[in-house]
């Protein structure tokens, strides 16, 4: 029997900024997810696109130095093709503009998650979460979106709530 693939998550820039800035309102929730990922041996990916966006405001070196992340997932040809497919699909159904830089990069991250069989995608951006849910519903992606506005472990257990015993 083949060994099950280790679970993984892509962290988007909004989530990363929230995790590393304790003045942000959702910081405590982001920290809970971060600790869950570590405690449950879930690979945490910070793609090259996120590195670029984060570096605009602050160096990523301290985050990289923790050793808890896989830094720099490259964005390649297949990811570009998948992102174009996603953008066309979202535009065709009136899911808003996908041409702004930030939104365009978010779609690129969703394409990377899909192409690399990443289990989860965590964000504090509700529009991005909605795009991911739409792409899942349409059968174009299997990556599970996590909207880090509240902590919910049931996401990791197929919707099963933990017993408070």
Residue 26, in any domain of the structure: yes
Residue 91: predicted pLDDT: 86
Torsion 111-87-155-49 (CA) sign: positive
Residue 48 falls within a domain, yes or no? yes
Query: Listing from the earlier edge strand, what are the strands of the sheet with 43-46?
Result: 70-71, 43-46, 8-11, 120-123, 144-147
The verdict on residue 17 lying in a domain is yes
pLDDT for res 102: 59
- pLDDT attached to residue 1: 52
- Whether 156 maps to a domain, the answer reads no
The pLDDT, as a whole number, for residue 165 is 46
In a domain, 158, yes or no: no
pLDDT tens, 104-140?
Answer: 899 999 999 999 999 999 999 998 999 999 999 999 9
Q: Is residue 161 part of a domain?
A: no
**Which stretches in the chain have pLDDT values below 50?**
165
DSSP state of 124: S
Burial of 24 (0-12, 13-18, 19+ CB in 10 A): middle
Pick from 53, 96, 51: which is nearest to 74 by CA? 51
Q: Is the pTM of this model over 0.95?
A: no
Identify the CATH number of the domain in which residue 64 sits: 3.40.50.1010
What domain count does the chain have? 1
In a domain, 76, yes or no: yes
Is 2 a member of any domain?
no
Query: Containing domain of residue 67, as a range?
Result: 9-151
């Amino acid at each position: 029997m083949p060994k099950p693939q280790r679970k993984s998550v892509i962290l988007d820039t909004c989530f990363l900024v929230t995790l590393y800035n304790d003045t942000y309102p959702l910081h405590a929730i982001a920290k809970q997810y971060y600790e869950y990922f570590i405690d449950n041996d879930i690979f945490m990916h910070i793609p090259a696109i996120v590195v670029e966006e984060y570096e605009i405001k602050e160096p990523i070196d301290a985050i990289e130095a923790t050793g808890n992340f896989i830094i720099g997932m490259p964005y390649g040809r297949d990811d570009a093709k998948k992102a174009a497919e996603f953008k066309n699909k979202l535009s065709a159904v009136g899911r808003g503009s996908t041409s702004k830089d930030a939104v365009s990069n978010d779609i690129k991250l969703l394409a990377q998650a899909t192409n690399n069989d990443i289990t989860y995608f965590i964000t504090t951006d509700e529009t991005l979460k909605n795009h991911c849910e739409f792409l899942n519903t349409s059968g174009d992606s299997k990556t599970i979106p996590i909207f880090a506005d509240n902590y919910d472990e049931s996401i990791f257990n197929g919707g099963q709530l933990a017993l408070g015993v």
